[in-house]
Amino acid sequence: MSKPRMVRRFSAVVRVSHWLYALSFITLAVTGYMIYGSALDWMIPLFGSLEGAMVVHRVAAVFLIMAVLIPILMRPREVTAWLGEVFTFTEADIAFLKTFPAKFVGVKKKIPPQGFYNGGEKINSLIQIISGVVMITTGLFMWLSSSPPPIMYPLHALFMAIGSASAIGHIYLALLNPISNEAIRAMINGDVSEKYMQENHGQWYQEVYKAAPKGKRSN
Ligand code: HEM
183 lines ligand 1 (CB under 6 A): yes
**What is the spatial distance between Cα 13 and Cα 75, in angstroms, rounded to a whole number?**
7
Q: In the chain, what percentage of residues exceed pLDDT 90?
A: 82
State pLDDT tens for residues 121-172: 999 999 999 999 999 999 999 999 999 999 999 999 999 999 999 999 999 9
163 lines ligand 1 (CB under 6 A): yes
- Kindly tell me if the per-residue pLDDT of 186 is higher than 80: yes
Atom 14, ligand 1: residue with shortest CA distance? 183
Residue of 170, 181, 196, 205 with the most ligand 1 atoms within 8 Å of its CB, for mutation: 170
**What is the spatial distance between Cα 177 and Cα 101, in angstroms, rounded to a whole number?**
12
What is the CATH code for 89-219?
Answer: 1.20.950.20
Atom 4, ligand 1: residue with shortest CA distance? 171
Question: Which value, to the nearest 10 degrees, does the dihedral of the CA atoms of residues 207, 208, 209, 213 take?
Answer: 100
- Kindly tell me if the per-residue pLDDT of 217 is higher than 90: no
Average pLDDT over residues 88-100: 94
**Amino acid in position 5:** R
Position 1 scores a pLDDT of 61
Q: Model's pTM, two decimal places?
A: 0.93
Average pLDDT over residues 92-102: 94
State pLDDT tens for residues 49-85: 999 999 999 999 999 999 999 999 999 999 999 999 9
- List, in order, residues 6 or more apart from 155 with CB less than 8 Å away: 134, 138
Contact 56, 27 (CB under 8 A): yes
170 lines ligand 1 (CB under 6 A): yes
Position 218 scores a pLDDT of 60
Mean pLDDT over each residue of the chain, to the nearest integer: 93
- Kindly tell me if the per-residue pLDDT of 216 is higher than 70: no
Atom 41, ligand 1: residue with shortest CA distance? 121
Give 18 Cα–ligand 1 centroid separation in angstroms: 7
Give 214 Cα–ligand 1 centroid separation in angstroms: 29
- List, in order, residues 6 or more apart from 52 with CB less than 8 Å away: none
Position 129 scores a pLDDT of 98
Atom 24, ligand 1: residue with shortest CA distance? 22
Number of the ligand 1 atom closest to the C-alpha atom of 185: 10
